[in-house]
Amino acid sequence: MPDQETAPRTVDFFIAGNSKSGTSALYRFLKVHPQICMSYPKEPNVFATDFCHTSDVGAFKRRTLEQYHSFFSHAEDGQLWGESSACYLYSREAAHQIHQYNPDAQIVAIFREPVDFLYSYHLEMLTNPVSEGEVEKNFERALQLEGDRKAGRSLPRGCLVPELLHYSERVKYAEHLSRFYRYFDRDQVKVFIYEDFKQDNAAIYEELLRFLGVDPSFRPPAFETHNKSLKLKSKRAQQFVDNLSYGRGLFAPFKTAIKTLLPQSIRGWLIRTAYDYAVFKPKPTIDPDLERRLKAKFLSEVKAFGELIGEDMVHKWGYEAVSEAPR
């Protein structure tokens, strides 16, 4: 948890989830609501203390409470403060740390079908800097490496957060949600299913606004397309773009000049353009046989999650075929 320091107020709600596109879309939709101030940067990650480190590089840098509250310096009087850190869902410490920070906080959790999620998550890890990402391009092989990686072997060189590569831990949905139920009353926790959100942005958005207690009639200018799932073209190109972005490697001597001459908005556009043209290509489809095997493996997790939230997730997520298959 960030160092305790005197602060005028606390953050009101937290979005966590295993769907990066879902949490990102909710962040974009909420940040334009006049009664809400979303943090900048989008994913502070500060309460995932089991993942945080002291390096200046990466998304999991330890921060003080004063630094954390500075992410809301653009807030207007009377606005709710909210943030969206996807990793809070699978962090073993985040629920407890958030409760210690603000026991009255509201929690929004969003879940995606496990196999589709893991496949997209692996592609996301390939796009991350190597300090917090993946280098094994083969999805099935990456899953098989988990045992070695938990033992400290077969990790990418320079990896700072090996827990992010423990793939099977990402789909223990009942365990993840139970941690929040342990510390927060159920009426403080709102659970959404990503596929419902994807099918009807407007309905889920309105339901979320009602949960947060703000004007539910507000709509963003346009509901945006979700993040595209992409596959890595070139790790070398990615490293070049990351070094340019962070002012590392060959660009280190020019870090201050780059930030001075190019506003953040322009740098962001240039980096996104470079990624689109040089680093990524469209997401391929998962092998059907592997998909069936993984669904059979995760069936018990899907059942347990459905029982926890009181919904038939076996049929909702299309697991009835493996459920009815002979053992």
> Which tokens sit at 220?
């963003």
pLDDT of residue 20: 83
Same-domain status, 242 and 153:
no
Same-domain status, 27 and 165:
yes
Residue 320 placed within a domain: no
Residue 312 placed within a domain: no
In three state form, how does the secondary structure of the chain look?
A: CCCCCCCCCCCCEEEEECCHHHHHHHHHHHHCCCCEEECCCCCCCCCCCCCCECCCCCCCECCCHHHHHHCCCCCCCCCEEEEECHHHHCCCCHHHHHHHHCCCCEEEEEECCHHHHHHHHHHHHHHCCHHHCCCCCCHHHHHHCHHHHHCCCCCCCCCCCHHHHCHHHHHCHHHHHHHHHHHCCHHHEEEEEHHHHHHCHHHHHHHHHHHHCCCCCCCCCCCCCCCCCEEECCHHHHHHHHHHHHCCHHHHHHHHHHHHHCCHHHHHHHHHHHHHHHHEEECCCCCHHHHHHHHHHHHHHHHHHHHHHCCCHHHHCCCHHHHHCCC
The pLDDT of 124-133, averaged and rounded, is 88
Residue 314 placed within a domain: no
Structural domain ending residue among the three candidates 155, 178, 212: 212
Same-domain status, 272 and 191:
no
Average pLDDT, the chain: 85
Q: How many CB atoms lie within 10 A of CB 163?
A: 19
- pLDDT 10s digits, 212-247: 999 999 998 877 554 444 454 555 555 555 555 555
Same-domain status, 136 and 258:
no
Structural domain ending residue among the three candidates 245, 265, 282: 282
CATH code: domain of residue 43: 3.40.50.300
Same-domain status, 205 and 272:
no
- Whole-angstrom distance, CA of residue 26 vs CA of residue 180: 20
- Of the chain, the percentage scoring pLDDT greater than 70 comes to 76
**Domain carrying residue 264:** 230-282
Same-domain status, 182 and 260:
no
Structural contact between residues 62 and 45, judged by C-beta atoms closer than 8 angstroms:
no
- pLDDT 10s digits, 155-174: 999 898 899 999 999 999 99
Q: Is the pLDDT of residue 250 over 80?
A: no
Residue 61 placed within a domain: yes
Residue 82 placed within a domain: yes
Q: Is the pLDDT of residue 109 over 60?
A: yes
Beta-carbon contacts of 140 under 8 Å, excluding residues fewer than 6 positions away, are 287, 290
Residue 116 placed within a domain: yes
Same-domain status, 203 and 238:
no
Same-domain status, 205 and 255:
no
Residue 222 placed within a domain: no
Cα atoms found within 13 Å of the Cα of residue 159, Cβ hemisphere only: 20
Residue 324 placed within a domain: no
Q: Is the pLDDT of residue 314 over 80?
A: yes
Beta-carbon contacts of 185 under 8 Å, excluding residues fewer than 6 positions away, are none
- pLDDT 10s digits, 33-68: 999 999 999 999 999 999 887 666 577 888 999 999
Same-domain status, 191 and 95:
yes
- The structural domain count of the chain equals 2
Same-domain status, 263 and 168:
no
Same-domain status, 252 and 208:
no
Higher pLDDT, 169 or 256: 169
Pairing of strands 36-38, 80-84: parallel
pLDDT band at 258 (very low <50, low <70, confident <90, very high): low
Same-domain status, 197 and 254:
no
Cα atoms found within 13 Å of the Cα of residue 54, Cβ hemisphere only: 0
